[in-house]
Amino acid sequence: MPAPATPAAPSPSPASVSVSVLGLGLMGTALAGALLGAGHRVTVWNRTHARTGPLAARGALPATTPADAVAAAELVILCLTDNTAVQDVFDTLGAGVAGRTLVNLTNGTPEQARELSAWAVRHGARYVDGGIMAVPPMIGGPYAYVFYSGDEEAFTTHRPVLAAFGGTRFTGTDPGLAAVHDLALLTGMYGMVVGVSHAFALVRAEGIPAGELAAPLSEWMGAMLQGVAEDARAVDSGEHLTDVSSLLVNQAALANFTATYRARGLDTGFFDHLQGMLDRAVDQGHGADGLSRLADMIAK
Ligand code: FVH
């Protein structure tokens, strides 16, 4: 995951508080570890109980059931595979969540976050959703941060504790907003990963090691990323006219990509999809616009 340009400012450490962490996969273990590192009293629960062992060795208190973990702390962090699993765990808890703050850092959709929030409120709990912009080894480090949304008072109350994970960015009281930001940033990341994978596949097909491409590719992508702010301005204003690189010239060039990949027996689906968007944009009379116009081609 790319690091933001500036590291998050360190927050003052709060007094030790009780926190429960439900879900001790790779990320949940890192979150619980950061809370222990910050001096908190951490109760941990995981469906597969054996995974509590390493954290227990560091001072965490293993709970046998989700209900026991929720009973142990007002602040409850969840980090499971998906929100179906979160809802399953919530269903076992029922009224047991009353009076608790549930901070769900599981990847999910905005709609799921809103439904989970409504469920929590119906059961007397406060709900904060979150999207983690870090991989587990980054947690607690200067480049990690988390998008939050939902109950702002609960977020503000617990912000000093949540800061153990990294920066805290509150996106609004609509519980779905953290997921929107999370998915948007991950979309950028997946686009980058798909592009990089195609670039590696192409050079490998020519017998060139991917390692030889790494430096020029990083340099090039870094330079291209400088245009993101300008593209955002174009998308917001609807003014896409360019004196840099038109859709027409990109449309003409794309045939070279498809031909080159196809000639080497490589998949062209990525370029076929892009070709479709470019063709539609040009057909609609936007040939003189820049690539920022593609955002309109995604909107149905
Ligand atoms: N790892 C990463 O780099 C990314 C970074 C950004 C945020 N994601 C999201 O974080 C969620 C958890 O990811 P993870 O990497 O910790 O995932 P796993 O290591 O596979 O652990 C999954 C945990 O979920 C538990 N679990 C699954 N289903 C259930 C269920 N029905 N009931 C209770 N617990 C469940 C699982 O338990 P177990 O298999 O050990 O018994 C693990 O604790 C995820 O949303 C990422 O997208 C991570």
pLDDT digits (tens, 9 = 90+) for 48-104: 999 999 999 999 999 999 999 999 999 999 999 999 999 999 999 999 999 999 999
Nearest C-alpha to atom 29 of ligand 1 is from which residue? 85
**Strand-strand pairing, 167-170 and 126-133:** unpaired
Number of neighbouring beta carbons within 10 Å of residue 65? 12
Task: Find tokens 């081609």 and name the residue.
Answer: 297
Report the atom number in ligand 1 closest to the C-alpha of 30: 16
Distance between CA atoms of residues 29 and 292, nearest Å: 40
Section 14-33 average pLDDT: 96
Ligand 1 pocket mutation pick from 80, 147, 181 by most atoms within 8 angstroms of CB: 80
Residue nearest to atom 17 of ligand 1 (CA): 25
Please name the residues in contact with 91: beta carbons below 8 A apart, sequence gap of 6 or more. none
Convert the pLDDT of each residue in 276-297 to its tens digit.
Answer: 999 999 999 999 999 999 999 9
- Answer left, alpha or beta for residue 39, where phi above 0 means left and psi between -120 and 50 means alpha: left
Tell me the pTM: 0.93
174 C-alpha to ligand 1 centroid (Å)? 24
CA 143–ligand 1 middle distance (angstroms): 21
Q: How far is the CA of 2 from the centre of ligand 1 (A)?
A: 21
On the CB side of 175, CA atoms within 13 Å amount to 23
Cα 299 from chain centre? 21
Please, where are the H alpha helices in the chain?
Answer: 26-37, 53-57, 66-71, 83-93, 110-122, 152-162, 177-205, 210-225, 228-237, 247-263, 269-283, 294-298
How does pLDDT run across 31-59, given as a tens digit for each residue? 999 999 999 999 999 999 999 999 999 99
Local structure of residue 189 (DSSP, 8 states): H
Amino acid at 20: S
- Per-residue confidence band for 300, with pLDDT thresholds at 50, 70 and 90: confident
